[in-house]
Amino acid sequence: MENNRVIRSAFKVGSFTSLSRVLGLVRDTLTASLFGTSAVMSDFVVAFRLPNLFRALFGEGALSSAFVPVFMTTRKEEGDKAAWFMARKTVTVVAAGLLVLVALLIGATYVLQWLKPDLAARAPHLLPLTRVMLPYVLFICLAGLFMAMLNACHRFSLPAFTPSLLNIVWIAFVILVCPRLGATPEQQIYGIALAVFVAGIVQMGVQVPALIKLGFRPGFTWDLSDTRVRRVFTLMGPTALGSSVTQVNVMVNALLARWAAPWAPASLFYAERLLYFPQGLLATAMSTVLLPVLSGHAARGDHAEMRSTLSHSLRTLLFVMIPASIGLLVLSEPIVKMIFGWGRFDADAIRHTSIALQFYAPGLMVFCLAKVFVPAFYALQDTRTPFLIGLRAVSLNFVLNVIFVLTWPMEYKHAGLASATVISEAMNGLTLGVLLHRRLGSLAWRAVLKTTTRALGCSAVMTAVIILVRSPILNALSGTGLPVKLTEVASVLGAIALGMAAYFLCALIMRMPELGFARDAILRRR
């Protein structure tokens, strides 16, 4: 019953996350049509990585993972009033620290500009764009903390919808603001940076009324002597890297990519956006739901339920992510062309982004491992282990990045960066799984392996169907007189639909229980 509740909640969160991903694709399609993979777009991507990194380190990742177990323990032992008062103290300390951090980072950009005047010649818009977006760190980190509070109370819908607000604001600014800033991409790009800043305020503010209804009272109460508040920040330190390995790796990739080629950061950015769509469907949602559920099991010392929940969740994720990974690999260029092939997103941009996506796609099968295993360590209030393993993963990623950038051909240097991320994430996830096995016992690994093998077999059938049907669909539609773009879209979507049908039919024939997990979760929710 508990496992079904986790999957149902994950699908509920996943539906809102999917909305965010759909809006994100619309956002990125509009952005791609305006800026393509130009140098100014790459400057924006690198500039955007910095506040996004701090969001992952100190916002949604570290703060939520550290806050939820302490909040739930306080609530269980001392009651709601004490828990919300502790939350208010935490908000106060976080807000003060973030204000100082943002001020220091903005000052650092001016120091860097003075120390490295040649940077302005190579990437003239990098530092100005960074300054516009840095205040986003303050608002989005507080928004992440508010999301954690709601999740701890098992209110998942609003926090899951909140990321969509960034995309909604971004789309509005692309359409309404960017054209008013000038006729060139170099002028219009500042409209996107301003959208990020405004979206942070909106994402933070929209959650406050819901928290007030639950018992939170906004205000500032400075009290670092509270042991519970100190516990949050003690856990948060190592949690920051442990839960944000991907974002750290992506930031390193962006910096090295800008050095490798002017178009490389933008190409990686668009490829990642396509990768995040299936990942957000269930993996991110599962991670969100697992933390409070596993924290409850851990508080009761029920390791058997933890093992069952983890195994069930991992099998469900692999059932979804394996075909998604292989599908993106097989249809990389048609998908990139279908979604981004408008306006300034020319043939070179399509080729570079498709190559990056091909090397990123296998990562879906390993990115989901950390989404399941890291919340288990945090539920046990062990942030040291994910931190140490994450540190090794970041180090491995950096070493591989340097090797691949120096040795791979120019057209594939950015693909080497993507490949390095996948390898380091695989090491991170597999190592966490081994250590969790030692701590909790077996997570029914035989069943997990069986799921993986069957999913790969059904994905092979899916791939054969996609390859066989896409060209005939495209040829049939080409003779109907429909616009070329419409035939491209219809052929890709048709191949995806038939491929998915083949996968699920194969899973049904093989009687994969994971198909029932998903079906039962959806039916129970309805």
C-alpha span between 353 and 266 (Å, rounded): 8
Q: What is the pTM of this model?
A: 0.79
Specify whether the CB–CB gap between 291 and 65 falls below 8 A. Answer: yes
Q: What counts of helices (H) and strands (E) characterise the chain?
A: 22, 0
Closest CA to 298 of 384, 386, 381: 381
Length of the chain: 526
Check residue 526 and give its pLDDT. 42
pLDDT of residue 518: 59
Residue 236 domain-assigned (yes or no): yes
**Tens digit of pLDDT for each residue in 8-26?**
555 555 566 677 778 888 9
Q: Among 45-49, 252-256, 519-523, which stretch is predicted with the lowest mean pLDDT?
A: 519-523
Quote the pLDDT of residue 290: 62
pLDDT at 135 over 60: yes
Nearest-angstrom CA–CA distance, 270 and 267: 5
Buried b (16+ CB within 10 A) or exposed e, 378-409: bbbbbbebbbebbbebbebbbebbeebbeebe
In a domain, 490, yes or no: no
pLDDT of residue 1: 47
User: Residues 11, 282: contact at Cβ < 8 Å?
Assistant: yes
In order of 277, 349, 357, 359, 453, the CA distances from 271 in angstroms are 10, 11, 5, 9, 27
Report percent pLDDT > 90 for the chain: 28
Does residue 439 register a pLDDT over 50?
A: yes
**pLDDT recorded at residue 287:** 56
Q: What is the pLDDT of residues 346-389, one digit of tens each?
A: 889 999 999 999 999 998 888 878 878 887 887 777 777 887 88
Q: Which residues contact 193 (CB under 8 A, 6 or more apart)?
A: 44, 47, 48, 129, 132, 133
**Is the predicted pLDDT of residue 190 greater than 70, yes or no?**
yes
DSSP label at residue 217:
-
**SS3 of 124, please?**
coil
- At residue 124 the predicted structure's pLDDT band, cuts being 50, 70 and 90, is confident
Tokens standing for 304? 């058997």
When mean pLDDT is compared across 100-109, 264-273, 284-293, 402-411, the lowest value belongs to 284-293
Evaluate whether residue 107 is within a structural domain.
yes
**Per-residue model confidence (pLDDT) at position 330:** 92
Structural domain contains residue 467: no
Per-residue pLDDT tens over the stretch 206-248:
999 988 888 888 878 887 777 888 887 777 766 565 555 666 7
> Which residues fall within 8 angstroms of residue 250, CB to CB, at 6 or more apart?
49, 53, 272, 421
Residue 178 — pLDDT band, cuts 50, 70, 90? very high
pLDDT at position 280 is 63
Q: Tell me which residue range forms the domain holding 45.
A: 2-443
Helix (H) or strand (E) holding 353: helix 347-360
Q: Of 464 and 524, which is predicted with more confidence?
A: 464
Calpha distance 270→276 (Å, rounded): 10
Residue 147 lies in a domain: yes
| Share of the chain residues as helix, strand and coil, in percent rounded to the nearest 5 | 85, 0, 15
Asked, for residue 499, whether it belongs to a domain, the answer is no
Tokens standing for residue 224: 């670092």
pLDDT of 422 > 50? The answer is yes
- Judged on CB neighbours under 10 Å (0-12, 13-18, 19+), 462 is buried
What pLDDT, on a 0 to 100 scale, did the predictor assign at position 524? 46
> How far is 190 from 194, CA to CA, in rounded Å?
6
Across 31-45, 163-177, 306-320, least confident range? 306-320
3-state secondary structure (DSSP) of residue 514: helix
Structure token digits, residue 193: 């940076």
Does pLDDT of 197 surpass 90?
A: yes
Q: Is residue 521 part of a domain?
A: no
Residue 523: the pLDDT is 47
Share of the chain above pLDDT 70, in %: 86
Average pLDDT score, the chain = 83
Residues 6+ apart with CB under 8 A from 497: none
Q: What is the per-residue pLDDT across 449-507, written as a single tens digit (0 to 9) for each?
A: 998 999 999 999 999 999 998 888 888 887 777 787 888 888 899 999 999 999 999 99
pLDDT the model gives residue 251: 73
Number of domains in the chain: 1
In a domain, 286, yes or no: yes
pLDDT over 80 at 82, yes or no: yes
